[in-house]
């Protein structure tokens, strides 16, 4: 009688375990995709303006200084919830005007503060970017970031 694990048994355990975890990986990936598409994002609110706002975000490499939902650089504040910070759920017009005005007055020139460059965005680009921020704020982030201040 052979003592210990045979070569064939070790191979079968390896292959069976690999297959099991591959199936678990595929199932979790499928569930994540389903959750993102149907539960956590506002798929119906994904307008052309929101898409253009994301293009503006990418063209000006905003992620080099800011984060969206925790992804990006931490030089500037988190912008995934900037719409909420400016009071967008209660006063959409006020939030839109406030965000646009903030971007238009940059750099502020206040000594000792980090300065954001002025990208000379058109009014249409600013509106699209604000639409993108508003859409981002509706993503169910399950509590991220933990504070409204980002």
Short-list 62, 84, 83, CA closest to 73? 62
Residue 124: its pLDDT value, please? 97
Tell me which residue has tokens 């000792």: 112
Find all residues with CB under 8 Å of 123, minimum gap 6, and list them. 100
Residue 14: its pLDDT value, please? 97
Residue 123: its pLDDT value, please? 96
Q: Per-10-residue mean pLDDT for the chain, 150 residues long? A: 83 97 98 92 92 97 93 90 95 97 93 92 97 94 79
Residue 148: its pLDDT value, please? 79
Residue 150: its pLDDT value, please? 64
Helical packing angle, 123-137 and 92-104, nearest 10°: 130
| 113-119: long-range pairs with CB below 8 Å, 24+ | 114/75, 114/76, 116/65, 116/76, 119/60
Nearest 5 degrees, angle CA 8-CA 9-CA 13?
Answer: 120
Whole-model pTM above 0.85? no
For residue 20, the Cα-to-chain-centroid distance in whole angstroms is: 32
């Amino acid at each position: 009688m052979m003592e210990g694990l045979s070569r064939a048994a070790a191979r079968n355990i390896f292959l069976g375990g690999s297959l099991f975890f591959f199936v678990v990986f595929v199932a979790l990936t499928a569930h994540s995709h389903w959750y993102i598409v149907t539960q956590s994002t506002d798929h119906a609110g994904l307008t052309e303006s929101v898409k253009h706002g994301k293009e503006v975000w990418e063209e000006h490499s905003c992620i080099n200084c800011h984060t969206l939902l925790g992804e990006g650089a931490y030089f500037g504040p988190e912008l995934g919830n900037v719409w909420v910070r400016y009071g967008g759920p209660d006063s959409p017009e006020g939030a839109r005007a406030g965000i646009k005005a903030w971007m238009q007055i940059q750099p502020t020139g206040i000594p000792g503060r980090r300065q954001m460059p002025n990208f000379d965005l058109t009014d249409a680009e600013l509106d699209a970017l604000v639409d993108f921020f508003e859409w981002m704020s509706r993503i169910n982030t399950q509590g991220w970031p933990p504070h409204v201040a980002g």
